[in-house]
Amino acid sequence: MGQHLLSVRILFHVSFAFMYLPMIGLGFSSGLNLRDPDLSFVYNRFDGFLALSALVGLGIFVALDILTILRNVNQRAFLAVDILVVVLMPLSVWPIILSCISVIWVKEFYQTPCGNWFCNLYYSVAVLPRTADSVTSACVIAATVVTLGLNIAFISYICIAAITDKLQGNKFLPIYPGQSLSSSGPQERWRLFGTQRTPTERAAVVRHCADYIFRHSVFRKHAFEPTAWVIFRGIIAVYSCVGLVAFSAYSGYIEFQVYSDRGYTVNDVILGPTQCADAARNINITSVIAATMTSMGAVNFLPQTLRLSPETYYVAGGPGSWSGYSDYRYPPAGFEISWTGNDSLLTWVTKANFIIGDIAHIASLQVNLTSPLILAPFKQYTISLSMMRYKVDELSFISYHPDVITSMDSASGSNTSATFSFNNFCQAVIQRQLTLPSSFSATAHVFSTVGGIIASVDGIFALIFGRTIVAIIVGTRFVSPFGLLGLVTRNRFKRLIHEQYPHMQEDIDRGGMVAYISEVAIDAALIDTPTVKGHASSTESTLTGDEMENGNSVGLYPQV
């Protein structure tokens, strides 16, 4: 793996540029934006200007790559500098990373005590980047995941490559044609920049890197494709993937908010034509709940003169709560509420059964899921109540929606009264099904939403570029034209293909139609013969410059 180290480093450097340049724009667009005239423009855009320091790291990457190609540099020292810059790069976007933490773990972030150094760091920018809107929050989450993920991937590759080459007995640092491992030779003194490469050596290094990049990256290409088109296609593929990551983060964040807030999913249907008695069957407790605008259940703030009649039907179950028990008749008895004083009254009228609770109260399910009628003081109301049926899982209750028929000033000027009657016309009753989201349904909803967007973006990309994003990201050919069955029985398929199509390899070597299909469609390794040696039988063969120029073999060759 080490022989491709420079090529992989160049690919990672390009990936870092793809990631950090949009994050600079994110820093300016979603920054503090306090709009405080007492603060400078730089302070208002602190995280954007801080993200500009990432350009220093990107410049160091460019310098390392150019010097490595032009000179026999000390590979170990350059690799150490590369790793150091990669580790430090996330510091340029620490406000965005901190904002991501505050979005995901809101309560823990703001309630957990912090040390002096962390608090000073946190409050040095007054507030975090704005995360009030879900789009910005999703972008912040996606940027953080991509940034940290790319850093982890780079460090992991270096470690895995070093361990793998060590176990296999190979030298880790790259060796190019005509070059020894040490840039200065065992007898020469240690040098950082070393000597300048000859034109032949530079061409060998460029060919080596280009061959790997155009074979094993998003810039992979066929010999007949223009290089500029391949680079443009790879860039669009990368940003398409970044956009999909951001959209996935957005969808996941929205679903996480809904699930965390225990928000209900609403589905309305019309039960009609029906009778009111049928819609209210087996629901026998009519409840009236009252609270003031300022108290919301603080019963000692209820008006002392608050009364509900008839008291023979509606029995007080507590301050601000009355119920008519075990009455299966419909409609229930009408009632009147009256009080004196300048308090506005919140009123709920519901009908439930013993499964939900004996009577409704200010914190009951019926009250929490419905809106009240607000009665202003010093008025006389005549109100008609129409039913709306609610279902929460297996529970059912009825909430009555008020229609104010008349409203006039009180004759006494100090008394307020409201007379309620139940509408017995139920030609069409709305039933509202409320469902709490489960973790499985929330996850499935995210996957379905993201999957639809991926399919749309992938289809548009394939229409423009002739290949799907997956083909560009992971490779241009199927590992086997026979699916998983071909992978499991690979050797048997190869033997049967060799027996029934003995001239296929010969057609590949001649550059015929089979060679083209092997290049753009399937894995040629499935049909190569074990006895053939020294052939460029697949696109994984190593090619010299003369072979590429003469076109004797077909593969994913760089145009160097």
Fold observed for domain 270-435: Acid-sensing ion channels like fold (2.60.470)
Quickly state the pLDDT bin for 129 (edges 50, 70, 90). very low
Average pLDDT of span 120-146 = 60
Number of C-alpha atoms within 13 angstroms, CB side, residue 130?
17
- List all residues 6 or more positions away from 231 whose beta carbon is below 8 Å from its beta carbon: 219
Buried b (16+ CB within 10 A) or exposed e, 502-511: eebbebbbee
pLDDT greater than 50 at residue 444: yes
Query: Residue 542 has what pLDDT?
Result: 36
Quickly state the pLDDT bin for 418 (edges 50, 70, 90). very high
Query: Residue 383 has what pLDDT?
Result: 94
| More confident: 77 or 139 | 77
* Radius of gyration of the chain measured on its C-alpha atoms: 36
Quickly state the pLDDT bin for 555 (edges 50, 70, 90). very low
192 alpha carbon, distance to own chain's centre: 43
Nearest to 341 by CA among 372, 379, 310: 379
What is the tens place of the pLDDT at every residue in 537-547?
333 333 333 33
Are 71 and 195 contacting, i.e. CB atoms less than 8 angstroms apart?
yes
What is the tens place of the pLDDT at every residue in 74-106?
888 888 898 999 999 888 887 777 777 776 665
Which of helix, strand or coil describes residue 252?
helix
d(CA 176, CA 178): 6
Query: Residue 482 has what pLDDT?
Result: 65
71 alpha carbon, distance to own chain's centre: 43
Average pLDDT of span 334-353 = 88
Residue whose pair of structure tokens reads 């240690």 in the numeric block: 190
- Helix ranges (H only) for 105-133 are 106-111, 116-123
Supply 220's token pair: 């992979």
What distance, in Å, lies between the first and last C-alpha atoms of the chain? 23
Query: Residue 405 has what pLDDT?
Result: 92
Are 290 and 337 contacting, i.e. CB atoms less than 8 angstroms apart?
yes
- List all residues 6 or more positions away from 22 whose beta carbon is below 8 Å from its beta carbon: 143, 242
Query: Residue 338 has what pLDDT?
Result: 92
Quickly state the pLDDT bin for 406 (edges 50, 70, 90). very high
Are 238 and 20 contacting, i.e. CB atoms less than 8 angstroms apart?
no
pLDDT greater than 50 at residue 559: no
d(CA 133, CA 130): 8
Residue 220 is given by DSSP the state: -
Query: Residue 84 has what pLDDT?
Result: 92
* Percentage with pLDDT > 90 across the chain: 6
d(CA 495, CA 239): 42
Which of helix, strand or coil describes residue 357?
coil
Which of helix, strand or coil describes residue 527?
coil
Number of C-alpha atoms within 13 angstroms, CB side, residue 316?
10
User: What is the average pLDDT value for the chain, to the nearest integer?
Assistant: 74
d(CA 451, CA 222): 29
Supply 161's token pair: 């490559």
pLDDT greater than 70 at residue 297: no
What is the tens place of the pLDDT at every residue in 267-296?
888 887 677 888 887 788 888 988 887 655
Query: Residue 283 has what pLDDT?
Result: 82
Supply 559's token pair: 């145009």
24 vs 44, 51, 65, 77, CA distance in Å?
A: 15, 5, 23, 29
Are 395 and 240 contacting, i.e. CB atoms less than 8 angstroms apart?
no
Query: Residue 326 has what pLDDT?
Result: 66
d(CA 431, CA 268): 6
Q: Report domain extents, the chain.
A: 2-216, 218-263+437-476, 270-435, 478-538
For residue 382, give the amino acid letter. Answer: T
Q: Angle of helix 94-104 relative to helix 5-29, nearest 10 degrees?
A: 70
Q: Which residues pair with 267 in a beta bridge?
A: 433
Supply 482's token pair: 């026979």
Average pLDDT of span 504-516 = 78
Query: Residue 126 has what pLDDT?
Result: 39
What is the tens place of the pLDDT at every residue in 24-80?
877 777 544 444 455 555 555 666 777 788 899 899 999 988 888 888 888 888 888
